[in-house]
Chain A
Amino acid sequence: MFILHVEDVRENHRPQVGGKGFALARLWARDLNVPRAVCLTADAYRTFLQATGLDKKIPLEIHRKNLENARWEEMWDTALRIRNLFLRAKFPRDLEHALREGIDDFFRGTPVAVRSSALGEDSAQVSFAGIHESYVNIMGTENILKHAKLVWASLWSDAAILYRKELGLDLEKSVMAVVIQEFVPGDCSGVFFGKNPMDGAQSVVEAVYGLNQGLVDGTVEPDRWILRRTDGKVLSHTPVLRTKVISPARKGVRLVKIDPKKAQVAPLSQNRVKAVFTLGTKAEESFGQPQDVEWTFRKRTLYTLQSRPITTDLKDQSKDEKSWYLSLRRSFANLQEMRTRIEKQILPEMISEIETLAKQDFSGLSDKDLADEIQRRKKIFASWNEVYWKEFIPFAHGFRLFGQVYNDKIHPEDPYEFVELLRQQSMHSLERNRLLQDMAALIKLDKNLSQKIRDGRLEDVKNSKFQKLLKSFLGEYANLQIFDELDSAPLKRLSGLLLELVESSPHTQKKKLSTARKPLSPEQFLSKFTKEDRDYARGLLDLGKFSYRLRDDDNIYLGKIERQMNRAIFEGRKKLKPRFPSRYLKFSDEQIEKSLRDSRYNPHVERSKRKQTQRHTWQARQLKGQPAGKGLATGDAHVISEDKDLFEFKKGEILVCDAVDPNMTFVVPLAGGIVERRGGMLIHGAIIAREYGIPCVTGIADATALIRTGDSVTIDGFLGLVIIEHREK
């Protein structure tokens, strides 16, 4: 039994139709004006999985890495791959025939909503509201079946996997039924909470014009009414500035500006608020406990779209955590707002802050004033660091959303193919790498210059072009710890790096094994959209590109603020040289600040212990991570533990590090391959590796402890493997 009409659902069908399907059947039986609906059963899901091999492929993806050690970015990758598996899998013939027949007969071409109804979700104990996907205004059997697959796949979204794990549910026993419901293009929609989580004596109605998708995902702010739970008396109404509305488009929905006249009037009259309250009360009677009901008004008729028990009596903690999981999904509208804020406000403010800080001359400052300045700059850095986490990191969802839409349209074999359309030449770290490459090119041409570099006399170089490039480079990189030292060692190390670059041809692409295929063009993607939707697609691509570039640039801007903080600390250290000539280089930032404030303070410097890295008694021969940059490479490992290691990097070596920081990408063109502890296909290291066509494997736990400098390492960037031939001790 693959398909069941809502009116035929009985108590024993609950394990087939899931919580939502079962609740709708009850509401239908109580005559609560539920749109006509059918359920694709749990058997349909299981049959699809078995016939397509997904029942075995999904566990392989899920167990690619121990979930306990996986970062959310890695979970997103897992979810993306599984979603693509669903999109590419074909319905087995029998199942497709049964579903097509059932859907054709029942809906006969009318638009529908395709909703998730996972088994065990929306019980009184747990609520999956908003975790799984639902799609509205879907037309045509083919399209409905495609969206049913996407609803199935949403059982394996990063939010759903993480939330299930948090609740201690068995991932592999998860099953998804689907509700296909006649679509009601409501004029005004909302939710009803039978019991206000903040005050048990109240009920709450939230309402927006148009459809309630915007309300559910937070794009459209609702008007809110607080009612007395016993009789529905309106206790308060909180109107909002009504600016946007979600309306049905030719396909799906779109966010549009609200009609200015409508914006002046609340979406519900007092009578309608009452009608919603009555509906909610009836739903509560049906289930014997307070409900969270989604409803819509179409002209004068009030429809019940779905109802689930309220679970907010649960401890607050799990509620907070769920909202975090939900934040893993961002709507296009939400991301566009973020972009405007980042582009028009945050970045200009950040640049202006950097310029202001850079202009300041510390020479006239007293010791105490300098200590104050150090403290002020530390605060400035901390506040920008907060902006970085609050704004820049979530904005990375911009290119993730593009990737999802790309895969939905194209169904590519490689779920990361979309990155090709996001790549661009204007990334800051690439521009900076060019400075080094230009310096290397000058050295190659100028014998005199070359000799000076070989002699390690970088400071004696007269070539003005080279001096200019060097100055720019030092300006960019002086936030590296290495340039805080007050000796000439850093410049010597830089000479070494430049000579390595002279020997290599950084502009040439690394040899890689990949299937020859024409490069992608944006038109290939855009042509998949109807004329009406092409502007949206173009906007999404543009958003994706900006978000992808920012993933690199944000670190650089933050690095520049950090450098301005370090500049003051550096000045403080310099001032302490006469007082503590043998120890001033070893003081911590706090000790510098304190010494400047108190002339009697004598900082205690602990003898530096050799950094202990965790060593294992066994050796790793082959490690598995994520194939973040395609290709194969073999070379000697060069483990980066501190900044100065970067300057000893030799051409062709395999860069092994904890995480590729944008401030260290200048060695990437020299690297034969990259191994990174931090996991993810779209993290900075992976992005930059792809830019240079370098094989890269990310997510190798303990990479810097298991691999030693000098080990012969092979990177299989297709399968995400790192094979290690240990150097004899």
Chain B
Amino acid sequence: MSKELKTLVQRILESQSLGVLATLDKKNPYENLVAFVSSKDLKNIIFSTAVYTRKYSNLKAFPNVSFLVDTRSNSEKDFHECVAITAFGQAKEVGKKEWDKILRLYLKKHPYLEEFVKSPSCRLLQIQVSKYIVVSEFQKVLEFSV
């Protein structure tokens, strides 16, 4: 992966608050907007969810996910300026060992979610990313693994 591409992905993941998480139930894909933070090495994307949600049940049954982050502004220039990044990977609950460290990282970006994340009925999850697909300039598609 070129350094520029990695920097671009890092910059976009840092600049955006919300991403689209796609999970799968028995039959259908299911998408949610979630507040996320990514690790600097791009290997992990962290998000949180309440336990009694469809996405959480889906993840428990089928941990493979894709995650979309983009820079669209809902205008014509999106067709040449927007960059969309899709991450593929497996989601798992953040383990006790790393919980404090990951929580700090997450709350640094989303301090207003503290009460939500610390609730006993909320879980912090991390997607262990295996691959990124970066789409820019309308149809330019690049892939890289991490």
Residues of A within 8 A of B (CB): 52-53, 56-57, 60, 513-515, 621-622, 632, 714, 716, 718-719, 721, 723
A60: chain B residues at CB < 8 Å are: 112
Choose from A52, A56, A622, A718 the contact partner of B121 (Cβ within 8 Å): A718
Inter-subunit contact B111/A53 (CB<8 Å) = yes
Bitwise interface map of B from 113 to 146 toward A, beta carbon under 8 Å scored 1, else 0: 0101001111000000000000000000000000
Known: A513-B120, A632-B121. A719 touches B50 (CB 8 A): yes
- Which A residues are CB-close (under 8 A) to B114? 53, 57
Chain B neighbourhood of A718, CB < 8 A: 119-122
Can you name 29 A-B residue pairings with CB atoms under 8 Å?
A52-B111, A53-B111, A53-B114, A56-B111, A56-B112, A57-B112, A57-B114, A513-B120, A514-B120, A621-B54, A622-B53, A632-B52, A632-B121, A714-B52, A716-B50, A716-B51, A716-B52, A716-B121, A718-B120, A718-B121, A718-B122, A719-B50, A719-B116, A719-B119, A719-B122, A721-B50, A721-B52, A721-B121, A723-B52
A622 to B51, CA, bound (A): 12
Apart from A53-B114, A716-B50, A719-B116, what 16 extra A-B contacts exist at CB < 8 Å?
Answer: A53-B112, A56-B112, A57-B114, A514-B120, A515-B120, A622-B53, A632-B120, A632-B121, A716-B51, A716-B121, A718-B120, A718-B121, A719-B50, A719-B121, A721-B121, A723-B53
Closest to B122 in A: A719
Q: B1-56: which residues lie under 8 A (CB-CB) from chain A?
A: 50-54
Q: Provide the B93-122 mask, 1 if CB < 8 A to any CB of A, else 0.
A: 000000000000000000110101001111
CB-CB under 8 A from B53, the residues of chain A are 622, 723
Q: How far is the CB of B119 from chain A (nearest CB, A)?
A: 4
- Chain B residues with Cβ below 8 Å from A622 are 52-53
Please give, as numbers and ranges, the residues of chain B lying within 8 Å of A513 by CB-CB distance. Answer: 120-121
Minimal Cβ-Cβ distance residue in B for A716: B121
Interfacial chain B residues near A632, Cβ < 8 Å:
52, 120-121
Chain A residues within an 8 Å CB radius of B54: 621
CB distance from B36 to the nearest CB of A (A): 16
Determine the chain B residues whose CB is within 8 A of the CB of A719 once the complex forms.
50, 116, 119, 121-122
Residues of B within 8 A of A621 (CB): 54
| Cα–Cα, bound, A52→B111 (Å) | 8
Closest to A720 in B: B119
CB distance from B33 to the nearest CB of A (A): 14
Bound together, the chains give a CA A57 to CA B114 distance in angstroms of 9
What is the bound-complex CA distance between A163 and B9, given in angstroms? 46
Shortest CB–CB separation between residue B108 and chain A, in angstroms? 10
What's the nearest-Cβ distance from chain B to residue A654, in Å? 13
B6 to chain A, nearest CB (A): 29
Q: Considering the chains assembled together, what is the distance between the CA atoms of A719 and B114 in angstroms?
A: 12
B107 → A minimal CB distance (Å): 8
B116 nearest in chain A by CB position: A719
On chain B, the residues within 8 Å of A714 by CB distance are: 52
Task: Give the complex CA separation of A429 and B120 in angstroms.
Answer: 30
The distance in angstroms between the C-alpha atoms of A632 and B119, with both chains bound, is 11
The minimal Cβ–Cβ distance linking A408 to chain B, given in whole angstroms, is 20
